């Protein structure tokens, strides 16, 4: 359902709200080559008029295959990228305004995918974790800082003595714990997690997912969770958005989307994932691959792979319509053909 | 007699700080036409097992013990030239990244015909015809036109199809597929798995499917070997290993995989991490993380023992399977 306009007070506004957000990247060739080939500039619409809201202390997950724009949304949501169109609001305030205030900025943070690339190899762990404390001037004096770092490390299941070591001395799972400790240092309320476990083995992934759920419960955190792994998403989310080529094709309560997927692409994804329950069962995979976002298909971007596609799907971009308590961008669903 | 028989395979890496034993007494067999899954976490030795079988261990790694038999003949002691002829002809390989497997400077047709003519005595025209046939088999549209295209002109999924054609075009008896779908998106992954399953069934090819994704194994393999710290922890029919695992590690691994079918409050969690090769514990390598470990596990290494429908290297399940499982459930 289209969300009713909310009064923009901090108490009632969603933690984060995206209103018709787009982001275009310039992927043109260099000027000289462009002139010689008589080409214009080329824009890649990585995110195309995306809207969502994340209520306080809940988790919204975005899933999709490579190139669907989910990581771009992660970056937009913490202000690492500016939207080309639309607006992102943090507690009812425009993100560009909120980012200018340190007091608001420290309340959001991000956990990245690769714990090998996101920690400075030349810094000791205690300095990595203390960086946000220093940046926001949250502690005064060495003793207070040491105590705070020790508490943060303990919170993610590491020993205070681990602070003296360097990142390379830790395994992938432990490094992701360090990333989480750093992300929590400024006592944020909103965390963007971009594929936080996709570089980890499953048994370690389970440890990190359990830790994140525990921390959410204990600290009342709000998560924007980005993943390509639907099973992980099912485990973590309250609400779920499915993305395809820069657009959200279906969004709603996670349980509803998993139990009764409406959009043909959501069905394809759920169908395609190998699962332990699939022992001995055969499947009929859907053909085709994700098209290039530089030259997306006309109309509904999914129509070349969709069994339900008709002339309208090839020409007209579907808008989101309410189907029960989920929003679905599909002509077939809107017309009652699916 | 099994088609491929790996007996007590041990692989070592001599380093300045001593010899690391990366595979320690791995035994498995592959029957004709069967899909054997090999799962494990990073560093468990699953890829190394595949590399050792096709004779592509990177120095200083070396086979320090055991035997590898193909159709009853030892292949681990073959000279390099004989091994090179055998690779591709009798054992094919599919690797994770199709971009690095294919030569970017040669049209795919050239790479296919080269492989075909190296292993089979065919004329250039016949080899080209066969290449088109295989591209068609793996589902490349308009194969006769696209045979002269370069790898970069194909999408990721199509490239992996070409790699599969390359692995199967000389009709090997065994294919080692090491993470064949890991670099692909899920919807494409399903297509590739279905293709691999269909082709190997039609041609009676045995497949050793190495992956960290238990879901892929559950859906594709007939039997599965679970590896931990350079050894096989459990081996058995895939349904039994998934539904009633005997080894506590397998049980923990299955519990830690989030399910699509239902949501649990908490995932089962195996605390700690797999030991490094230079610090493999005495006795059972899993004992420091095992909720069921007792004295014997800390001192004596368990060998593979029947544990119900599967075989497992575990003192607990070997001794009292039913009781051990109840304890693990509690």
In this prediction, residue A278 has a pLDDT band, given cuts at 50, 70 and 90, of low
Higher-confidence residue of B299 and B96: namely B299
The SS3 call for residue B105 is: coil
Window from A47-51, A209-213, A237-241, B211-215 with minimum mean pLDDT: B211-215
What element of type H or E holds A147? helix A142-155
pLDDT, residue A273, reads 80
In this prediction, residue A7 has a pLDDT band, given cuts at 50, 70 and 90, of very low
pLDDT, residue B330, reads 46
Given an 8 Å threshold on Cβ–Cβ distance, is B254 in contact with A66? Answer: no
Mean pLDDT in residue range A54-74: 91
Q: Nearest CA to B100 among B54, B156, B174, B60?
A: B156
Given an 8 Å threshold on Cβ–Cβ distance, is A283 in contact with B258? Answer: no
State the nearest Cα–Cα gap between B80 and chain A, in angstroms.
35
Q: Which residues are CB-neighbours of B109 under 8 A, at least 6 positions away?
A: B128, B131, B132, B147, B148
pLDDT at B23 over 90: yes
Mean pLDDT in residue range B151-161: 89
pLDDT at B320 over 60: no
Which residue is closest to A278 within chain B, CA to CA?
Answer: B219
Which residue is closest to B224 within chain A, CA to CA?
Answer: A279
DSSP state of A160: G
Q: Which residues are CB-neighbours of A325 under 8 A, at least 6 positions away?
A: A1, A252, A253, A256
Bridge-partner residues for B203, per DSSP? none
State the nearest Cα–Cα gap between A234 and chain B, in angstroms.
7
Q: How far apart are CA A62 and CA A73, in angstroms?
A: 9
Q: Nearest CA to B303 among B283, B276, B288?
A: B283
State the nearest Cα–Cα gap between B138 and chain A, in angstroms.
13
Chain B CB contacts of A203 under 8 Å are 41, 252-253, 256, 269-270
For A205-235, what is each residue's pLDDT tens digit? 999 999 999 999 999 999 999 998 888 998 9
Mean pLDDT in residue range A107-115: 90
Given an 8 Å threshold on Cβ–Cβ distance, is B259 in contact with A213? Answer: no
Mean pLDDT in residue range B313-320: 79
Q: How far apart are CA B85 and CA B80, in angstroms?
A: 9
Window from B10-24, B112-126, B186-200, B311-325 with minimum mean pLDDT: B311-325
What element of type H or E holds A88? strand A85-90
pLDDT, residue A283, reads 67
The pair of three-digit structure tokens given for residue B292, joined into one six-digit string:
């069921």
Q: How far apart are CA A28 and CA B174, in angstroms?
A: 47
In this prediction, residue A19 has a pLDDT band, given cuts at 50, 70 and 90, of very high
Mean pLDDT of chain A: 89
- Asked whether the beta carbons of A156 and A181 are under 8 A apart, the reply is yes
Q: Where are the domains of chain B?
A: 247-329
The pair of three-digit structure tokens given for residue B270, joined into one six-digit string:
């195996």
pLDDT at A8 over 50: no
- Going from the C-alpha of A68 to that of each of A12, A45, A80, A286, the distances in angstroms are 31, 10, 18, 18
By percentage, how much of chain B surpasses pLDDT 70?
96
Half-sphere exposure of A279 (CA within 13 A, CB side): 16
- Asked whether the beta carbons of B127 and B117 are under 8 A apart, the reply is yes
Q: How far apart are CA B287 and CA A26, in angstroms?
A: 54
Given an 8 Å threshold on Cβ–Cβ distance, is A285 in contact with B212? Answer: no
Given an 8 Å threshold on Cβ–Cβ distance, is A203 in contact with B256? Answer: yes
Q: How far apart are CA A300 and CA A315, in angstroms?
A: 7
The SS3 call for residue A101 is: coil
Mean pLDDT in residue range B61-74: 93
Q: Nearest CA to A188 among A104, A268, A115?
A: A104
Which residue is closest to A67 within chain B, CA to CA?
Answer: B185
For A245-261, what is each residue's pLDDT tens digit? 999 999 999 999 999 99
In this prediction, residue B327 has a pLDDT band, given cuts at 50, 70 and 90, of low
Q: Nearest CA to B251 among B316, B301, B300, B304?
A: B316
Query: Which of A204, A288, A289 minimises the CB distance to B273?
Result: A204
Helices A264-272 and B186-203, packing angle to 10 deg: 50
- Asked whether the beta carbons of A183 and A216 are under 8 A apart, the reply is no
In this prediction, residue B266 has a pLDDT band, given cuts at 50, 70 and 90, of confident
Q: How far apart are CA A61 and CA A324, in angstroms?
A: 19
Q: Is A183 exposed, middle or buried (0-12, 13-18, 19+ CB in 10 A)?
A: buried
Q: Nearest CA to A202 among A173, A181, A165, A228?
A: A173
DSSP state of B9: E
- Asked whether the beta carbons of A199 and A47 are under 8 A apart, the reply is no
Q: How far apart are CA A73 and CA B212, in angstroms?
A: 29
Query: Which of A174, A205, A275 minimises the CB distance to B218?
Result: A275
Interface residue of A66, A199, A202, A214 to substitute, partner B, most B CBs within 10 Å: A202
Window from A62-76, B23-37, B239-253, B258-272 with minimum mean pLDDT: B258-272
Interface residue of B187, B241, B252 to substitute, partner A, most A CBs within 10 Å: B187
Given an 8 Å threshold on Cβ–Cβ distance, is B259 in contact with A277? Answer: yes
Q: How far apart are CA B214 and CA B228, in angstroms?
A: 14
Q: How far apart are CA B283 and CA B275, in angstroms?
A: 13
Regarding beta strands B231-237 and B223-228, do their DSSP bridges make them parallel or antiparallel, or are they unpaired? Answer: antiparallel
Given an 8 Å threshold on Cβ–Cβ distance, is A289 in contact with B157? Answer: yes
Given an 8 Å threshold on Cβ–Cβ distance, is A276 in contact with B42? Answer: no
- Asked whether the beta carbons of A88 and A80 are under 8 A apart, the reply is no
Q: Chains A, B: CB contacts under 8 A, how many? A: 139
Helices A142-155 and A125-135, packing angle to 10 deg: 110
pLDDT, residue A321, reads 93
Given an 8 Å threshold on Cβ–Cβ distance, is B190 in contact with A279? Answer: no
In this prediction, residue B296 has a pLDDT band, given cuts at 50, 70 and 90, of very high
């Amino acid at each position: 359902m289209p969300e009713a306009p909310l009064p923009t007070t901090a108490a009632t506004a969603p933690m984060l709200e995206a209103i018709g957000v787009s982001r275009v990247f310039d992927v043109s060739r260099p000027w000289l080559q462009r002139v010689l080939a008589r080409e214009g500039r080329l824009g890649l619409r990585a995110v195309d008029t995306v809207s969502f809201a994340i209520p306080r202390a809940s988790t919204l997950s975005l899933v999709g295959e490579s190139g669907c724009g989910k990581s771009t949304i992660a970056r937009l949501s913490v202000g690492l990228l500016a939207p080309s169109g639309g607006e992102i609001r943090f507690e009812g305030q425009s993100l560009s305004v909120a980012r200018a205030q340190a007091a608001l900025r420290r309340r959001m943070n991000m956990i990245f995918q690769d714990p090998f690339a996101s920690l400075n190899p030349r810094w000791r762990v205690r300095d990595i974790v203390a960086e946000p404390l220093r940046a926001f001037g949250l502690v005064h004096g060495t003793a207070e800082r040491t105590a705070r770092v020790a508490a943060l490390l303990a919170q993610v299941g590491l020993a205070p003595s681990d602070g003296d070591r360097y990142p390379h001395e830790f395994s992938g799972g432990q490094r992701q714990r360090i990333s989480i400790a750093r992300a929590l240092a400024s006592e944020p309320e909103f965390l963007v997690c971009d594929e936080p476990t996709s570089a980890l083995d499953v048994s370690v992934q389970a440890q990190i997912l359990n830790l994140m759920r525990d921390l959410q419960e204990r600290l009342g955190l709000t998560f924007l969770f980005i993943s390509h792994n639907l099973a992980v998403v099912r485990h973590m989310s309250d609400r779920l958005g499915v993305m395809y080529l820069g657009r959200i094709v279906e969004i709603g309560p996670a349980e509803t989307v998993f139990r009764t997927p409406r959009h043909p692409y959501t069905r394809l994804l759920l169908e395609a994932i190998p699962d332990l329950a699939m022992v001995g069962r055969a499947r009929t995979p859907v053909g085709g691959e994700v098209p290039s976002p530089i030259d997306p298909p006309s109309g509904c971007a999914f129509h070349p792979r969709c069994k339900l596609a008709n002339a309208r799907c090839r020409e007209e971009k579907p808008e989101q319509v309410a189907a029960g308590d989920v929003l679905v961008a599909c002509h077939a669903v809107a017309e009652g053909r699916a | 007699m099994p088609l491929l028989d790996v007996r007590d395979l041990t692989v070592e890496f001599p380093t300045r700080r001593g010899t690391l034993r990366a595979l320690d007494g791995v035994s498995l067999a592959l029957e004709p036409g069967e899909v054997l899954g090999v799962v494990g976490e990073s560093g468990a030795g699953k890829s190394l097992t595949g590399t050792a079988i096709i004779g592509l261990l990177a120095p200083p790694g070396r086979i320090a013990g055991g035997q590898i038999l193909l159709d009853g003949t030892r292949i681990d002691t073959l000279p390099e030239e004989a091994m090179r002829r055998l690779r591709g002809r009798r054992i094919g390989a599919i690797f994770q990244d199709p971009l690095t497997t294919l030569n970017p400077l040669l049209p795919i047709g050239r790479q296919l015909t080269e492989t075909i003519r190296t292993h089979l005595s065919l004329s250039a025209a016949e080899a080209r015809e066969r290449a088109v046939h295989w591209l068609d088999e793996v589902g490349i549209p308009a194969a006769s036109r696209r045979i002269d295209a370069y790898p970069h002109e194909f999408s990721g999924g199509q490239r992996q199809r070409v790699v599969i054609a390359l692995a199967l075009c000389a009709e090997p008896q065994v294919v080692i597929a090491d993470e064949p779908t890991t670099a692909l998106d899920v919807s494409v992954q399903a297509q590739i798995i279905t293709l691999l399953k269909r082709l190997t069934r039609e041609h009676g090819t045995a497949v050793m499917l190495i992956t960290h994704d238990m879901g892929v194994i559950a859906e594709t393999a007939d039997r599965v070997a679970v590896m931990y710290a350079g050894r096989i922890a459990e081996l058995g029919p895939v349904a039994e290993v998934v539904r009633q695992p005997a080894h506590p590690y397998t049980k923990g691994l299955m519990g830690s995989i989030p399910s699509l079918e239902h949501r649990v409050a908490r995932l089962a969690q195996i605390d700690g991490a797999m030991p490094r090769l230079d610090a493999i514990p005495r006795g059972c390598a899993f004992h420091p993380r095992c909720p069921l470990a007792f004295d014997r596990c800390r001192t004596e290494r368990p060998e593979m023992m029947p544990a119900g429908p599967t075989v497992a290297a575990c003192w607990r399940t070997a001794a009292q399977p039913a009781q051990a499982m109840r304890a693990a459930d509690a």
